[in-house]
A and B are shown apart, each in its own frame.
Chain A
Amino acid sequence: DTGVSQDPRHKITKRGQNVTFRCDPISEHNRLYWYRQTLGQGPEFLTYFQNEAQLEKSRLLSDRFSAERPKGSFSTLEIQRTEQGDSAMYLCASSLETGSGTIYFGEGSWLTVV
C-alpha cells in the first residue's frame, strides 16, 4: 500500500517565481483533492478532480493557481508569481467515489515564499 505521495516535501522559493507540486493518489482512487493548510489552522479545500475532470474549485483558488490531472492518475498544482501569502502546506488527498468515500491524505508539500 503506497498511500498518497507528494513531491517535493519542501520548497523554498523567491517571491514572483513559479512552483509546481505533484501528487500521486492511491492507485484505484478516482477522486483527488487539493487542500491548503496555514499554521494554526485546519486544511481548507482548494479543488477536486473526478478522474481527469476538475469539477469544483474553491474561491481560495486564485487565477495564479492551476491544477491538472491529465490522465486521471497523478495531479499537479502550479502556483504562478508566488506571493508571501502563498506560504503554506499544500495537501493532496484521494478517495473512491463509492462506499464511504473515505479521504486519505498525503504528507503534504511545504511552501515557503521569501
Chain B
Amino acid sequence: GEDVEQSLFLSVREGDSSVINCTYTDSSSTYLYWYKQEPGAGLQLLTYIFSNMDMKQDQRLTVLLNKKDKHLSLRIADTQTGDSAIYFCAETTGSARQLTFGSGTQLTVLP
C-alpha cells in the first residue's frame, strides 16, 4: 500500500540549517512535493522535484531525492522563526496524480 513517513518533530536554532526527512513507497511517483502549513491555514506549496532528478535548489530550500532508497529530504538554510510550521512531504499516486501525504513534521525554530 501507499505510505509516506516523516518524523513528527524537529527543533533548530535560528540561523541553523533544518533538514526534514521523508520516506515514500510508490516507486512510480513522478513528482514529490513539499508543502508548508501554518496554524489554521491551508497548504502552501514550497517546492517539488521530478523523479528523474537527484537535487533541486530554490533559494534557501534544497531538495534531495534518493530513488533507490525512496528517501526525500528538505533542507532549509538559515532557518528563521517564520519557518516554524508543519512541513508535509507528498508523493503523487494514481491516474489523477492525487497526493498521498505524510503526517507532517512540526518544525520549531528557537531564537
- List residues of chain B with CB within 8 A of the CB of A45: 98-100
Other contacts beyond A41-B104, A108-B41: 10, CB < 8 A: A33-B99, A43-B101, A45-B99, A45-B100, A48-B98, A102-B48, A103-B33, A105-B35, A105-B42, A110-B40
Point out the residues of chain A lying under 8 angstroms from B94, CB to CB: 56
Q: A interface vs B, CB < 8 Å?
A: 4, 6, 31, 33, 35, 40-45, 48, 50, 55-56, 91, 93, 95, 100-108, 110
* In the complex, residue of chain B having the shortest beta-carbon distance to the beta carbon of A4: B42
Task: Specify the chain B residue showing the minimal Cβ separation from A40.
Answer: B103
Partner of B48, one of A31, A91, A100, A108: A100
Interface residues on chain B, number (Cβ under 8 Å): 26
Name B residues whose Cβ lies closer than 8 Å to a Cβ of A.
4, 31, 33, 35, 40-45, 48, 50, 88, 90, 92, 94-104
Contact: B96 with A31, CB < 8 Å? yes
Contact A106 B97 (CB under 8 A): no
